[in-house]
Amino acid sequence: MQPRDPEFRARIAAAFAAQGLMATLGGRLVAMEPGRCTIEADFAPGLTQHHGLFHAGVLTTLADNACGFAAMSLLPPGGEVLSVEFKTSFLRPASGLVAVARGEVLKPGRTLTFCRADIFVRDAAGAETLVATMLATMIAAAPEAR
């Protein structure tokens, strides 16, 4: 996939930094290629559901961003995205040291971009387990343009 904005990494880094929620959850933008984005967060007691595992909402948030930034990487200069909708399936309990969301663009478009993300947990030995998967639709538009 070909980026239409050579400065897409800077544009996405700025958007990431502007998201208050990423600081709150400890999210890190660890990889960014055209049409692909990886976001991680370390386990912390402040990210848990009632069994002490990663909350589904945390996994979904990381995956939403991984999809959104993957979509944004293919837009022209100034391009931003909003989440139209997403669905997440939770395959296994998310017990691990790091949550890793890898998003990719399935089909770019002028208006809509279709994405998917896989969400893993990584253990102390670096082994990864798939714990959830997402399908997402992103729209390239300012809020008022919907």
In the complex, the smallest distance separating the C-beta of residue 8 from its own copies, rounded to whole angstroms, is 14
Q: Is 14 helix (H, G, I), strand (E, B) or coil?
A: helix
In the complex, the smallest distance separating the C-beta of residue 40 from its own copies, rounded to whole angstroms, is 15
Sketch the per residue contact string, 65 through 84, with its own copies: x for CB under 8 A, - otherwise. Answer: x--------------x-xxx
When asked if residue 112 is in the footprint of its own copies (CB under 8 A), the reply is yes
**Cα–Cα nearest to 53, from 132, 133, 143:** 132
- Which neighbouring-strand residues pair with 102? 38, 118
Contact between residue 8 and residue 15 where contact means Cβ atoms under 8 Å apart: no
Q: For 86, which DSSP code?
A: E
Residue from the set 70, 98, 104, 137 that interacts with its own copies by CB under 8 A: 137
Strands (E), 19-111: 28-33, 36-42, 81-90, 98-107
Sketch the per residue contact string, 26 through 65, with its own copies: x for CB under 8 A, - otherwise. Answer: ------------------xxxxxxxxxx-xxxx-xxx-xx
The rounded distance, in Å, linking the Cα atoms of 124 and 43 is 11
Interacting residues toward its own copies by CB under 8 A: 15-16, 18-21, 23-25, 44-53, 55-58, 60-62, 64-65, 80, 82-93, 106-107, 109-112, 114, 116, 130, 133, 135, 137, 139, 141, 143, 145-146
